[in-house]
Amino acid sequence: MKKVTVSGLLKKKQAGEKITSLTAYDASFAKMFDEQGIDALLIGDSLGMVLQGEDDTLPVTIQDIAYHTKSVRKGTQRAFVIADMPFMSYATAEQTYQNAAVLMAAGASMVKMEGGSWLCDTISGLNLRGVPVCGHLGLTPQSVHVFGGFKVQGRDSEQAQKLLEEAKALEKAGIQLLVLECVPSALGKMISEALSIPVIGIGAGKDTDGQILVMHDMFGISANYMPKFSKNYLVETGDMRKAVAQYIDEVKCGEFPSPQHSFD
């Protein structure tokens, strides 16, 4: 099958085709997801919670992400591979360039960073150095202590407008994808329609350009809890491959996320 590229993901948005994504952390699961036809794989700093048993993502290091990125890349033939920049690995421009180079060398095709317009200069600098960037707005888990917990963002009009403006600023700075997490469905739709780049939702409603889930949540095996926006596909199918295939099908036809997996 043809290898997925960032330009291919953009064409999917332009054609109205939903993009399917999952997190992955090793070669075996990456191979399974890849063979089922997933579009993109994210080596998320969520590994701190689902693999390491931490309460949040903050202890994850650049070395952790690089190790798992290398493993995922070895199991992937066609899916687009994105690697998270972990907490405080992009506090300065020079630090960002060095850490992004580590992840790209490990096998990432793009790096993902959490935050708004304060990142714009750094994003432009990464682009100039040949590093594609995925943004991340809404509930950004690295800021969990600022938010006071894992809370839905953008529920009032002022906050929603700010998120829309931040998304536009990130696109202007040069991001080529945006992950939008835990926002009301109406805001997910608004931001997706306002941007020319693909918007991948997680708890952002069905009207984003695609969906992503943490693989452990999709299989119902997360150590801590099942988020409202996730769905246990393994309990419905009894088989991991069938679970992935069903997830992909439901995203593509717009069945997932349903209202019960979204926020008003």
Phi, psi of 238 (to 5 degrees): 75, 10
User: Residues at the annotated binding site for Mg(2+)?
Assistant: 45, 84, 114
Known catalytic residues are: 181
Contact 134, 179 (CB under 8 A): yes
Contact 210, 251 (CB under 8 A): yes
Interhelix angle 185-194/157-173, rounded to 10 degrees, is 30
Task: Say if strands 199-202 and 210-213 run parallel, antiparallel, or are unpaired.
Answer: parallel
User: Residues at the annotated binding site for 3-methyl-2-oxobutanoate?
Assistant: 45-46, 84, 112
Give residue 93's Cα distance to chain centre. Answer: 22
Interhelix angle 93-106/120-128, rounded to 10 degrees, is 50
